[in-house]
Amino acid sequence: MTARNSGQDIQDHPNSENDAEIDEKKLKYPKSVFFIISNEFCERFSFYGMRTVLTLYLVQSLKYDDSTTTVIYHAFTMLAYFFPLLGAMLADSWLGKFRTIFYLSIIYAAGQILLALAAAPPIGLSPREFSMLGLVLIAIGTGGIKPCVSAFGGDQFILPQQERYLSTFFSIFYFSINFGSLISSFLTPELRRGVKCFGENSCYSLAFMVPAVLMTISIVIFVLGRPLYRITKPKDNVIVQVSKCISHAIYNKVTSKKKRDHWLDYADDQYDKTMISDIRDTLQVLILFIPIPIFWALFDQQGSRWTLQAARMNGEIGSWLLQPDQMQVINPLLVLAFIPLFEACIYPLMAKIGIRSPLRKLTIGGLLAALAFVVSAIVEYQLEPTYAVLPTQGGAQVRFFNTLNCNGNVTLEDNNFDLPPMEMWVNKSISVNEIREMNFTADFTRCKIPKWNDILTGKINVSEAKATSWVFMQNDFVYYEDSVQKSSSGNPLIRVVLSKDNLDEEIAFEIYDDNGRVFNTTVKDPRITMTDLNETVPGMYDIHLNGKKMLSGVPLKLGGVYTFVGNTIPGYTNLSVIQITEPNTMHVLWMIPQYVLITMGEVMFSVTGLEFAFTQAPSSMKSILQATWQLTVAVGNLIVLIIAEAKIFDRQIFEFLLFAGLMAVDMILFAIMAQFYRYIVTPEEEVASDDIHMKEERGILNKSYQDDEKRTD
């Protein structure tokens, strides 16, 4: 926390004068804080820039499924909010704030660089293993410096003489956090999508390297300010002292036969009564923290489940494409708008109807978060019809493609159908137990092609829970295991299936947009003339075969899976595009209501909860409340991790409703607990001595107060 005793601060500073001299002269604004503010801007840019694209990186590049991705994302967030305990202990008891920030920032930057290198295939690092190591290092670094940076900035001021300056510092400090996070949350998805590298349509290595560079710059800026810093010596850490006191009380209670009014009183042989009383009051507040983690379990899913939900929606806004991970920018923008709105309008209106106490506001905030997840479940329900129809257990899918120059007639057991040129027939619900043999006949005799002068009869094997595509070609009848799943990024997927008269012929397939060629492939295989699924960006395209334009203005839409079917038969070169999976049709802006509700809940829950905890805790125990508050964030992410790993539901809608229900029940229990809580009125003299801290706390009414720092000082 910010130093309280100005005399102590002056003694710790080698160039400081005595109290009397300081009182007599006007103190200037400490220039050292601008190094700290610049450092914080770069660090927050680095953290949010990395975390914004993390979910899609885990799904697209590392090929984790949605549940595993959610587990990894929330495990990382959990560690990032657990390590502040370690950082606070190091800073207060051993290294001091400057060295703690410096050493852990190096670990932080190393993690960012390692993550960027792991995302670059030419480097040759094992991407999964080294990405996980990078995330652990980042969690240690960002978590460790969380409780130190803002407090170190506060140490640069001499109190109470510079109390006004200190208030200004915290306003600028937290503005820099918001500014850094807003820019990076918008920019890094653009770097991920807008730049192509290493033969891929995205460039995660660049999206991670830019935050790594910013983190390195933050260290340089921080070190450059070293000659100007006021550095206080580390003292006893209150968390350690409280832990020792509680442990001693429990030990004495177990071993002693004496009876005391309260179990903490057993520690009075080593600890003074004031400290014991303060711990007792603090524990009363901490009991109310028990339901808090559920809120963070919902809130932090903006970067995981909600981002994955956005990836299955249509982000086209005119000619601009809103990336699914860019939706996270909405939250800080709404926070900045809502805080003054709530202070000026909402809270006064609530007071008129009797809602004044912080615990009531906190309860309403939690219920708004529950409502946000009900809305997200409604969006998911509307979204489900646009999902790909996947082959399931006990079933299979079969597709037939005709690349020939005439109509054919095919019989597949009970199904008889005509198959025109460049068209597809599909059955998505064939009953299968492991493997099923199905009889078929194919009549393409009217094509007058040697291969098809006779009616083809035979059997095909259909495998359970798989999609199989069969292709009638100029010289063969081939099959491949198909994929109908949408891309994890939401970008369209394309496959090329071509028939050729000359088996040795190479066919060049190219896609052009207004800016030139964006995709090309050469079909060389003499038998299986097809490609794997390839990802491209949505847009309107012209399609070329061997340098000749075959199709104009073909729309490839978000979420769509397409197969280009064609041939190069002399005199009958043809090409068509067949939609295998319906593209995303529901617009991503339908998610705005759930973002509005979760942000309203955040403002009422987090801001009010922190102010309540701070005002109700004894002055000597306020850092305990801050550390515990951050621990509730870690526990909340642990809850998501457990539920995601359990994979209870097959449909995401039910998981959203589960979280909404947990939050609602949690707030009902919290409201009951609040009825038995007796507010502590802080003595007037304590209010005066802590005035600067109250101003600091109440001045942090912005994004970082709730989402980022969860009280980092």
pLDDT grade, residue 681 (50/70/90)?
Answer: low
pLDDT at 646 over 80: yes
Select the more confidently predicted residue: 647 or 640. Answer: 640
User: Regarding beta strands 516-523 and 507-513, do their DSSP bridges make them parallel or antiparallel, or are they unpaired?
Assistant: antiparallel
Alpha-carbon distances of 285 from 290, 572, 616, rounded to whole Å: 10, 80, 7
What single string gives the DSSP state of each residue in 502-542? Answer: STT--EEEEEEETTEEEEEEEE--SS--B---EE---EEEE
Cα 580 from Cα 583, distance rounded (Å): 9
Q: Which tokens sit at 227?
A: 């000659």
Q: Distance between CA atoms of 108 and 131, rounded to whole angstroms?
A: 13
CB proximity list for 15: less than 8 A, separation 6 or greater: none
pLDDT confidence tier of residue 570, bands split at 50, 70 and 90: confident
Q: Across residues 35-63, what is the average pLDDT?
A: 93
Q: Which of 164-178, 249-263, 286-300, 486-500 has the lowest mean pLDDT?
A: 164-178
Residues 570-575, mean pLDDT to the nearest whole number: 79
What confidence score (pLDDT) does residue 24 get?
38
Cis bond upstream, residue 391 (ω within 30): no
Q: Which residue has the higher pLDDT, 235 or 214?
A: 214
Q: What is the pLDDT of residues 160-169, one digit of tens each?
A: 788 778 767 8
**What pLDDT, on a 0 to 100 scale, did the predictor assign at position 210?**
96
Cα distance between residue 504 and residue 6, in whole Å: 86
Which pLDDT value is given to residue 708? Answer: 40
Least confident among 402-406, 412-416, 474-478: 474-478
- Residue 408 predicted with pLDDT over 70: yes
Any idea what DSSP says for residue 200? B
559: region left, alpha or beta (phi > 0 left; psi from -120 to 50 alpha): left
Determine the pLDDT at residue 448.
84
How much is the pLDDT for 178? 75
Mean pLDDT along residues 665-688: 75
Q: Is the pLDDT of residue 56 over 50?
A: yes
**Other CB atoms within 10 A of residue 484 CB:** 19
pLDDT over 70 percentage in the chain: 88
Nearest partner of 323 among 16, 646, 697, 52, judged by Cα: 52
Closest C-alpha to 388, from 655, 580, 535, 578 = 580
Confidence grade of residue 505 (pLDDT, cut at 50, 70, 90)? low
Segment 149-158 shows an average pLDDT of 85
Alpha-carbon distance of 30 to 158, in angstroms, equals 9
Distance CA 462, CA 479 (A): 11
Query: What's the whole-number average pLDDT of the chain?
Result: 84
**Residues 34, 38, 40, 44, Cα dihedral to 10°:** 160
pLDDT digits (tens, 9 = 90+) for 649-662: 989 999 999 999 99
pLDDT of the residue at 524 = 53
pLDDT given at position 684: 45
How many CB atoms are located within 10 Å of the residue 217 CB? 18
> Angle of helix 273-287 relative to helix 622-646, nearest 10 degrees?
30
**pLDDT band at residue 364, thresholds of 50, 70 and 90?**
very high
What are the percentages of helix, strand and coil residues in the chain, rounded to 5?
Answer: 55, 15, 30
Inter-CA distances, 133 with 77, 113, 115, Å: 14, 11, 8
pTM here? 0.81
Output the pLDDT for position 10: 33
Cβ count within 10 A of residue 439: 11
- What are phi and psi for residue 522, nearest 5 degrees? -120, 120
Mean pLDDT, residues 287-296 taken together: 93
Spatial separation of the C-alpha atoms in residues 66 and 131, rounded to whole Å: 17
Confidence of residue 521 (pLDDT cuts 50, 70, 90): low
